């Protein structure tokens, strides 16, 4: 079949990618050496062997350990250039990239160091390869709302270098309502709003993200299927769901890719598309997600077209920019 070729060649947007989750083990060890950071793993193979996850938290523990090697502006730049170089190979024309500043400021890294490194890579990648890339500042939901508010305030000197805010990390026990005030403040500032919801958490968390936070997209959202009224609401409002099949598989959100509900959600009229989440940890970049999901579920060329179209229409780029892609 020529379907994998179509999936790889079609222009697409990636809207759910954590830049810290693009750090490959080889780059983690190179940065550890450059910065004199001690890692609790002997070598690349030992680190990779630890990538056997049972749920979201078991992944997050290793993901935050990997991010501990990021200290200098150049580290953030090198990580982001490596991701964007890889995204261009996958025919990604637009990337909206999450970064987790609290993971770094907590270790004494300045907000400006983080954002400048990320921004410089987005600019250089655009100039060299034509890819359009923007940043979304994501709050860690296991920390307090006060901490999120302080993080947003610390990022305001760099307000023109990110387009929105998101919400990630440990979902269960940290409902969206915990962050109502900081999302209201972000909205006042003209920032675009997204949140992880319904990855492991119940449909009530998706309702909470929509109603309490006023988000414009839901990250993951795969648990929405358990609530028929929510499904109808998502279809009527045209709310995009940034689905990540290999992430769901590796974090045991689904038992098997053949069981993944993306085809059902697409057929139900939801604006879903395919993303990689944390490609260095989950065994594949965005095209690997498309190819493996299609092989497992038997979707065809019409589904491929609709998913790529959904991805491009769900970006926060201007309508003029979107018209050039769709
Ligand atoms: N869920 C929650 N937090 C995250 C994820 C995710 O899939 N990836 C990186 N941080
Ligand atoms: Zn995610």
Bridge partners for 273 per DSSP? 242
Q: Which atom of ligand 1 is nearest to the CA of 199?
A: 1
Look at domain 3-314 and name its CATH class: alpha beta
The CA angle 100-104-108, to the nearest 5 degrees, is 155
Report how far ligand 2's centroid is from the alpha carbon of 171 (Å). Answer: 11
Q: Atom 9 (ligand 1): residue with closest C-alpha? A: 18
Q: Atom 10 (ligand 1): residue with closest C-alpha? A: 169
Report how far ligand 1's centroid is from the alpha carbon of 320 (Å). Answer: 31
58-80: pLDDT as tens digits: 999 999 999 999 999 999 999 99
Q: Which atom of ligand 1 is nearest to the CA of 100?
A: 10
Q: Atom 2 (ligand 1): residue with closest C-alpha? A: 169
**Structure letter (DSSP) for residue 175:** -
Residue 326: pLDDT band with limits 50, 70, 90: confident
Q: Which two tokens stand for residue 285?
A: 């970049």
- How do strand 12-18 and strand 192-197 relate by DSSP bridges? unpaired
Taking all residues of the chain, what is their mean pLDDT, rounded to a whole number?
A: 98
Instruction: Break the chain into its structural domains and give their ranges.
Output: 3-314
The closest alpha carbon to 138, from 247, 314, 14, 15, belongs to: 15
**Phi, psi (5° rounding) for residue 121?**
-65, -45
Q: Which ligand is nearest to the CA of 100?
A: 1
The CA angle 165-167-172, to the nearest 5 degrees, is 170
Residue 141: pLDDT band with limits 50, 70, 90: very high
Total residue length of the chain: 326
Mean pLDDT of 104-115: 98
Provide ipTM, 2 decimals: 0.96
Q: Which atom of ligand 1 is nearest to the CA of 169?
A: 3
Reported pTM: 0.98
Q: Would you please indicate which residues are annotated as catalytic (active-site) residues? A: 199
Q: Atom 3 (ligand 1): residue with closest C-alpha? A: 169
Report how far ligand 1's centroid is from the alpha carbon of 139 (Å). Answer: 11
Residues with CB under 6 A from ligand 1: 18, 21, 56, 63, 168-169, 196, 199, 247, 277-278
Bridge partners for 96 per DSSP? 134
């Amino acid at each position: 079949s020529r379907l994998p070729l179509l999936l790889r060649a079609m222009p697409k947007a990636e809207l759910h990618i954590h830049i810290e989750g693009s750090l490959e083990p080889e780059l983690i060890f190179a940065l550890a050496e450059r910065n004199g950071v001690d890692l609790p793993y002997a070598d690349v193979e030992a680190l990779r062997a630890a990538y056997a996850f049972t749920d979201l938290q078991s992944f997050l523990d290793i993901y935050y350990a990997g991010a501990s090697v990021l200290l200098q502006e150049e580290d953030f730049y090198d990580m982001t250039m490596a991701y964007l170089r890889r995204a261009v190979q996958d025919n990604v024309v637009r990337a909206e990239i999450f970064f987790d500043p609290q993971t770094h400021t907590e270790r004494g890294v300045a907000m400006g160091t983080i954002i400048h490194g990320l921004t410089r890579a987005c600019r250089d990648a655009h100039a060299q390869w034509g890819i359009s890339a923007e940043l979304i500042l994501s709050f860690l939901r296991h920390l307090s709302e006060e901490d999120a508010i302080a993080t947003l305030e610390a990022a305001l000197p760099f307000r023109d270098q990110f387009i929105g805010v998101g919400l990630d990390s440990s979902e269960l026990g940290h409902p969206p309502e915990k962050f109502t005030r900081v999302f209201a403040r972000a909205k006042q500032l003209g920032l675009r709003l997204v949140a992880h919801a319904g990855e492991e958490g119940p449909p009530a968390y998706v309702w909470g993200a929509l109603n309490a936070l006023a988000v414009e997209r839901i990250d993951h959202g795969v648990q929405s299927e358990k609530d028929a009224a929510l499904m109808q609401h998502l279809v009527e409002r045209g709310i995009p769901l940034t689905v990540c099949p290999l992430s769901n598989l590796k974090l045991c959100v689904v038992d098997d890719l053949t069981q993944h509900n993306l085809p059902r959600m697409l057929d139900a009229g939801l604006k879903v598309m395919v993303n990689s989440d944390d490609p260095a940890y989950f065994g594949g970049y965005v095209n690997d997600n498309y190819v493996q999901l299609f092989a497992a579920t038997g979707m065809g060329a019409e589904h491929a077209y609709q998913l790529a179209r959904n991805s491009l229409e769900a970006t926060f780029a201007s309508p003029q920019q979107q018209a050039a892609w769709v």
